[in-house]
A = this chain, B = another copy of it.
């Protein structure tokens, strides 16, 4: 007996070892070690009432089983006789219980209530919602409460998503390459669909459902018309069937010239009757197979993609034509505003606004105009896009980039919710103070009927999904912010850390600081003080302030930093491109003067002399150097913090993150050295003492090559 006990004990002890499985993301269901807490949970939720006969019901049951087995080491009972956890839609809930729930009228169709109540002296937890989808979201949040070691006896959560369309955008090509993908290759194995349903598809849907994502665009915005063929619709249907129980709709990108490329028509003119009919037929064909198909995402007349302008038609003509095709099925069109002219020499920062603002109010009801967070292109920091606030009569969808195209690919630890939060909190002033970007996106300000947020996915074939373990936090954070744009980055950081690794404060506190500081670090060592678009050409990895002589000036770095003997920065005030004019007067007033422009946007809006005196009292040149140095030191601090976390994380993750932090530090130093040596040519000022000696010269940094950098198409190599 002793022996048996000993060996049983061994099993238990070994199950205590830190062994997160990175594949399971933030849904780590390791047994709770605190025995008191564990016992209280076991008592509180041992018996579950669940009476749903549906695919979503099955998903809910599986998740309850999985999480209870993992976290609590119990097999939940579902005998429905004396339940202490009751999961039911509101219309099937016992009226006496329903009465005890607070504020159920506040929730929308995707919302839910979780509430601890007492009935006849007995404790019960009620989880209810208007729909099964709401229940699913509620279940994931309930499990999260256990993962976070919350006190269930005080539980009252009434929650609904603030944004309707919470959508991942995959820039995945049909050959499984991923444009700007750094986590391997596309998880969509189109070739073996519809027959082979990989487990990853199911786990992908589950992970997204757990953070409230309810849509996914499976294909690249630089799209291929082949995906609209009957063969591919069958493949898409198979995925849609997998995703449906998880409340996730599939969307496709629509190549505007598809009617021509399929060989059916000779034009794609949106006002041509045959073209309209072609898209109506195509929509009918898709919806016949996939009744809950979400709709189309379109990149038109941008970076060489075809679009309505090819026929002298406007974006409104193009979007509305497609919107009409999907309208009978409640489909939507997400029309990207990321356009810049092939010809116009205008500051790219201004072009989307110039082109789209006149269209305000002219799009059909089921069109969302999808706008990147900034007007250039997902830089480490950009001021918010001037279109936010400028189109009060048009639903604008936020487009964030989760994949780190300009933020270190897969090898830099950067916690992006901090970036997203900054954008969402920015005040556009367009309807008075407090008109934040977040309130425009979630429809509060103009009472928008249609709202959305898109995130360009960082998901690939990597065994941990995102390549960098901490890339998972960005996927997670996007989901949380799409659900509620007012969620703080700090909450997201802490929740993710706890769910993924450990609730121990000695882990969570320093690590959440690390996460929250990491975005400022990357800005510092790449593009401080409002600098932007000074990366290497093509693959966008590493510094390239010297990049010039590209097919277009606005693809170069020199166009954006404009460094010369007189100074550095892009004058976007009235003396320059006057992009500032696209913002509200409150912002114009503040930003037109360098003295009142926040440092972080200084060189975005102003060209200033090297010896310009900063708020700190130091020269601009000094501050540039100090920011680059600070960025490097911040990475060194990240390393120091991480070193202390070994006991809280899986050994593989610990080792791999160490290696990646080494790469990040190496590259941060490259950015610092390359940029300072380059800019020094113009400033002709010494590097201050705070910069460690740079032993290589500028030519060395220029000579660094990165063949076969990931995320670019073979043709771009």
List A residues at the B interface (Cβ < 8 Å): 5, 7-12, 14-15, 23, 69, 73-75, 174-176, 184-185, 190-192, 195-200, 226, 231, 410-411, 461-463, 652, 656, 659-660, 662-663, 666, 705-710, 714, 717
Contact = CB atoms under 8 A, between A and B. Distances in A.
Contacts of A199: 652, 656
Nearest to A652: B199
A199 B200 CA distance: 20
A73 B710 contact: no
A708 B190 contact: yes
A74 B9 CA distance: 12
A76 to B, nearest CB: 13
Contacts of A198: 656
Contacts of A9: 8
Contacts of A10: 73, 75
30 contacts: A5-B8, A7-B73, A7-B74, A8-B11, A10-B75, A11-B11, A11-B73, A174-B707, A174-B708, A175-B708, A175-B714, A175-B717, A176-B185, A176-B708, A191-B706, A191-B708, A191-B710, A192-B410, A192-B663, A195-B660, A195-B662, A195-B666, A196-B656, A196-B660, A197-B659, A198-B656, A199-B656, A231-B705, A461-B461, A714-B714
Given A184-B185, A195-B663, 4 more contacts: A11-B73, A14-B69, A191-B706, A191-B710
A707 B226 contact: yes
A586 to B, nearest CB: 45
A74 B14 CA distance: 11
A192 B410 CA distance: 9
A14 B14 CA distance: 15
A233 B11 CA distance: 45
B659 A196 contact: yes
Contacts of A175: 708, 714, 717
Nearest to A660: B196
Nearest to A197: B659
Number of this chain's copies in the assembly equals: 2
Contacts of A200: 463
A179 to B, nearest CB: 14
Contacts of A7: 73-74
A47 B656 CA distance: 33
Contacts of A191: 706, 708-710
Contacts of A709: 191
Nearest to A173: B708
Nearest to A23: B463
A308 B469 CA distance: 48
Most buried by B among A185, A191, A659: A191
Contact of A185 (B185, B190, B192, B226): B185
Contacts of A23: 463
A73 B14 CA distance: 10
A711 to B, nearest CB: 10
A298 B207 CA distance: 46
A411 B662 CA distance: 40
A580 to B, nearest CB: 39
Contacts of A706: 191
Contacts of A174: 707-708
Contacts of A666: 195
A707 B224 CA distance: 12
A710 B69 CA distance: 39
A255 B714 CA distance: 21
Nearest to A463: B463
Most buried by B among A11, A14, A196: A196
Contacts of A12: 8, 11
A176 B662 CA distance: 23
Contact of A11 (B15, B652, B656, B662): B15
B659 A461 contact: no
Q: Which 7 A-B pairs have the closest CB atoms?
A: A8-B8, A195-B663, A461-B461, A175-B708, A174-B708, A196-B659, A185-B185
A496 to B, nearest CB: 22
B411 A192 contact: yes
A515 to B, nearest CB: 21
Contacts of A11: 8, 11-12, 15, 73
A225 to B, nearest CB: 11
A666 B195 CA distance: 10
Contacts of A708: 174-176, 190-191
Nearest to A200: B463
Contacts of A663: 192, 195-196
A591 to B, nearest CB: 39
Contacts of A73: 7, 10-11
A717 B666 CA distance: 38
A615 to B, nearest CB: 38
A75 B73 CA distance: 24
A231 B8 CA distance: 52
A70 to B, nearest CB: 11
A659 B195 contact: yes
Nearest to A662: B195
Contacts of A184: 184-185, 461
A660 B196 CA distance: 7
Contacts of A226: 707
Contacts of A5: 8
A643 to B, nearest CB: 17
A713 to B, nearest CB: 9
Nearest to A659: B196
A219 to B, nearest CB: 12
Contacts of A410: 192
Contacts of A8: 5, 8-9, 11-12
Most buried by B among A175, A176, A198: A175
A655 B303 CA distance: 43
A411 B5 CA distance: 46
A191 B198 CA distance: 27
